[in-house]
Amino acid sequence: MDRKATAVWTGGPKDGKGTLSTDSGVLKQAQYSFSTRFENGIGTNPEELLAAAHAGCFTMALSAQLGNAGMTAQKLETTATITLAKVGEGFSVTKSHLDLVANIPGADKSKFDAAVKAAETGCPVSKLFKAEITVNARLQS
């Protein structure tokens, strides 16, 4: 299975601008630039897209792990925070932190914790990162 996205950039690093598009059409010439990446400009940036990918991947993986443990969530809500930091002469994604709120009536806490850990390490996006990954999971039952 292959998934594709295309980036187009014109101009220099600070004064230029770009667009991101996906084959699915969900992103179609979504604007990104220096200001959307390092300031608070309007548009997206690669780190925001990584955060969305990690939150989505982890949450889906957790749903599968919970199913394997005989639990079904009423709602799983994950917020991913990607940290982009200056490392040496350049920048690196140094951390992805996942904040999870899970509503699982009658959940077994130890099975829930094991499912969270398995999803954290087993999600394909987690495997892609060379950054520190942390999870703060809160169970509401």
Furthest-apart CA atoms within the chain: distance in Å: 56
Same domain, 113 and 136: yes
DSSP string, 40-98: --SSB-HHHHHHHHHHHHHHHHHHHHHHHTT---SEEEEEEEEEEEEETTEEEEEEEEE
The answer, yes or no, to whether residue 127 has pLDDT greater than 80, is: yes
State pLDDT tens for residues 85-98: 999 999 999 999 99
- Cβ–Cβ < 8 Å for 71, 114: no
What pLDDT shows up at residue 131? 81
Give the separation between CA 81 and CA 103, rounded to whole angstroms.
Answer: 21
Same domain, 90 and 24: no
The answer, yes or no, to whether residue 42 has pLDDT greater than 90, is: no
- Cβ–Cβ < 8 Å for 75, 103: yes
What residues make up the domain containing 61? 46-140
Same domain, 117 and 53: yes
State pLDDT tens for residues 46-88: 999 999 999 999 999 999 999 999 999 999 999 999 999 999 9
